[in-house]
């Protein structure tokens, strides 16, 4: 295709799934723009709508497929490409059954996205899910998340083989990027004004174990601490059986390395943990939390729990609730089990009815509310640097002042709040998204903190 023809092409990315999918979408966008395409903010203006799908659980699969069908129905003249995890997992099936998709493109080799996009516009309906290549992403020119922060994927895939998880089936075994490569990317992002770096991967604790068996996360953090400037680094998702205690040293040495730990414990029943393929047990996991808090008293621990796993009884759920009460987690996400073909758990007996699993999930969420509120009270009355993500201007019109809504305010995050999943800091005043504001908190409203700016 000529450069002139390519320059007239407009694309829209409809993003689904996790932060790792967002990083992939940012690279896809960068590659298409470099090839002369133009990204637009409205699907109605696009020649190509790219649905970057999630294939992790059944509900996410349906959401992505529904998006393809919806986009095609809304604009029959546009091309619609199904990309991402779902395409990588079921390329041939989707190519045959999903007629609304003008292209199916996996995520194992993003360097071929331009080829797939141009073939889609040419009407050849490509189905392209090439073999995985080493994960060496190019520099992303545009970030899709909140201004001032960026996700950095330090590894692709996972080798833990938890019995419920389809990630290895989709993304393969872990493939770690070289430390120098990661440091160079982060240095470039900091030079562009990014303040918060969120390190992501299927399991940061396994980073480097595929290239010599050594856990390289502590070494990476040491290298990042050598970088100059005012920034912060957050670690997201560390498998509890792979948690390298050396990272606590990095947090003690450098306050820019945040004592925020996202550790997916998943359950509190030894029987269920064993069936999930975990090596640890509840007491070992509680001991890990204890070590973290003994070294770093202000540390924040986030986790996820999975209920409704095959064979989970009322007694198992009671053990999980006991673990929850003893762990006193700062943040928690609860999920109901989804049977995924190809996983070991899919063949296990003792299926838990969906309604029961949902009731157990609701029970965890109800119990966690007061725990999170109690944990967050320690941050009231203190000063923090808040990364502003959104500002809400004061409303116009009569009655605004009487209703107490006459002030502008800004939404942001302090160091103990991860993007998208945790509470927020509500700061009085109007501040530009992407700026960092020093603020003093004065109240807790649910899981959000209210704050006044300091020195402005």
Task: Identify whether residues 158 and 210 lie together within a single domain.
Answer: yes
pLDDT on residue 95: 84
Domain shared by 108 and 231, yes or no: no
- Domain count of the fold of the chain: 3
CATH number, position 308: 3.80.30.20
**pLDDT tier at 397 (50, 70, 90 boundaries)?**
very low
CB within 8 A of 398, min separation 6: which ones?
A: none
**pLDDT score of 399 more than 50:** no
Residues 267 and 313 in one domain: yes
What is the distance, to the nearest Å, from the Cα of residue 132 to the centroid of all Cα atoms in its chain?
21
Q: Are residue 296 and residue 286 in the same domain, yes or no?
A: yes
Of the ranges 136-150, 165-179, 216-230, which is most confident?
Answer: 216-230
For the segment 426-430, the average pLDDT, to the nearest whole number, is 94
Q: What average pLDDT does this structure show over 35-51?
A: 90
- Whether 397 is covered by a domain: the verdict is yes
Question: Is 229 in the same domain as 98?
Answer: no
Residue 16's domain spans which residues? 3-128
Note whether 315 and 229 are same-domain residues.
yes
CATH code, domain carrying 440: 2.40.50.140
- Mean of all residue pLDDT scores within the chain: 90
Nearest C-alpha neighbor of 342 from the set 17, 95, 57:
57
In a domain, 200, yes or no: yes
The 10-15 sheet, strands edge to edge: 38-39, 10-15, 48-53, 79-84, 103-105, 127-128
Tokens read off for 135: 């994960």
One domain for residues 196 and 255: yes
pLDDT value of position 407? 83
Q: Is residue 138 included in any domain, yes or no?
A: no
pLDDT at position 132, please? 87
* Whether residue 395 has pLDDT greater than 80: no
Do the domain assignments include residue 140? no
Average pLDDT over residues 262-283: 96
Residues 21 and 91 in one domain: yes
Distance CA 64, CA 14 (A): 9
pTM exceeds cut of 0.75: yes
Higher-scoring residue by pLDDT: 44, 366: 366
Q: Is residue 133 part of a domain?
A: no
**Model confidence at 77: pLDDT above 60:** yes
Indicate whether 187 and 270 sit together in one domain.
yes
Residue 408's CB is within 10 A of a number of other CB atoms, namely 15
Q: Is 135 within the bounds of a domain?
A: no
The answer, yes or no, to whether residue 2 has pLDDT greater than 60, is no
Cα Rg, the chain, nearest whole Å = 23
| Per-residue pLDDT at 18 | 85
CB of 121 closer than 8 Å to CB of 9: yes
Compute the distance between CA of residue 241 and CA of residue 267 in angstroms, rounded to an integer: 13
Residue 74 shares a structural domain with residue 195: no
Query: Considering 316, 344, 378, which residue would you say is the last residue of a domain?
Result: 378
Is 371 within a domain? yes
- Cα–Cα distance measured from residue 46 to residue 184, given in angstroms and rounded to the nearest whole number: 34
Single out the residue in 65, 93, 128 at which a domain terminates.
128
């Amino acid at each position: 295709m000529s450069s002139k023809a390519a320059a007239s092409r407009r694309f829209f990315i409809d993003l689904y799934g996790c932060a790792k999918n967002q990083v992939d979408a940012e690279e896809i966008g960068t590659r298409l723009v470099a090839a002369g395409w133009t990204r637009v903010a409205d699907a109605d203006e696009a020649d190509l709508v790219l649905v970057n799908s999630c294939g992790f659980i059944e509900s996410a699969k349906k959401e992505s497929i529904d998006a393809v069908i919806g986009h095609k129905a809304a604009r029959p003249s546009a091309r619609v490409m199904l990309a991402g995890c779902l395409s990588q997992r079921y390329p041939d099936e989707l190519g045959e059954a999903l007629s609304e998709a003008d292209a199916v493109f996996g995520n194992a080799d993003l360097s071929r996205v331009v080829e797939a996009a141009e073939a889609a516009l040419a009407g050849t309906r490509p189905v392209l899910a090439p073999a995985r290549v080493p994960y060496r992403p190019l520099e992303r020119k545009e970030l899709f998340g909140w201004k001032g922060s960026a996700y950095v994927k330090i590894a692709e895939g996972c080798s833990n083989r938890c019995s419920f998880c389809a990630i290895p089936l989709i993304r393969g075994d872990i493939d770690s990027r070289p430390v120098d490569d990661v440091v160079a990317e982060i240095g470039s992002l900091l030079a562009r004004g990014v303040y918060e770096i969120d390190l992501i991967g299927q399991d940061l604790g396994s980073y480097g174990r595929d290239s010599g068996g050594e856990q390289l996360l502590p070494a990476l953090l040491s290298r990042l601490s050598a970088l100059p400037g005012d920034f912060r680094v957050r670690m997201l998702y560390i498998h509890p059986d792979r948690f390298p205690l050396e990272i606590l040293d990095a947090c003690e040495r450098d306050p820019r390395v945040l004592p925020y730990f996202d550790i997916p414990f998943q359950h509190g029943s030894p029987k269920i943990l064993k069936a999930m393929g975990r090596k640890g047990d509840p007491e070992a996991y509680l001991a890990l939390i204890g070590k973290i808090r003994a070294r770093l008293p202000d540390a924040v621990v986030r986790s996820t729990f999975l209920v409704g796993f095959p064979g989970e009884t009322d007694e198992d759920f009671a053990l999980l609730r006991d673990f929850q009460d003893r762990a006193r987690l700062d943040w928690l996400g609860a999920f109901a089990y989804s049977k995924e073909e190809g996983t070991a758990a899919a063949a296990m007996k003792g299926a838990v009815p969906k309604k029961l699993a949902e009731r157990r999930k609701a029970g965890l969420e109800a119990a966690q509310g007061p725990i999170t509120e109690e944990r967050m009270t320690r941050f009231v009355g203190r000063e923090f640097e808040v990364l502003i993500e959104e500002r809400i201007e004061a409303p116009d019109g009569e009655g605004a002042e009487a209703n107490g809504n006459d002030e502008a305010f800004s939404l942001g995050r302090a160091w103990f709040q991860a993007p998208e999943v945790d509470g927020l800091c509500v700061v009085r005043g109007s501040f530009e998204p992407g700026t960092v504001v020093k603020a003093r908190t004065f109240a807790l409203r649910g899981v959000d903190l209210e704050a006044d700016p300091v020195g402005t």
